[in-house]
Structure 1
Amino acid sequence: MGYFVLEPILVDHIKQHVPGLVEVNTPFNIEEMLEASNNSPSVSVIYYDDRVSTDAGRGEMVVTYQQWLIVLSVRHSGAQLQETSLIRKEAEPFIDQILGAMKGFNPAITGFKTFKRTNSPVRVGGKAGHCYFPFMFEIQKLI
Structure 2
Amino acid sequence: MGTIIQAGADFIYRPNERWELTGGMYTAKYTMPSRMHGAQFDIGLDASAAYRINDFMRIRFFGQYSGFGKQNSLNGYMSPMYPQSHYGAVLEMKVNDYLEIQGGVERVYNASKMKWETVPIFSPVIHLNRKKK
TM-score, scaled to structure 1: 0.30
Structure with the bigger RCO (C-alpha within 8 Å, sep 6+) is 1
TM-score, scaled to structure 2: 0.31
Bigger Rg, structure 1 or 2: 2
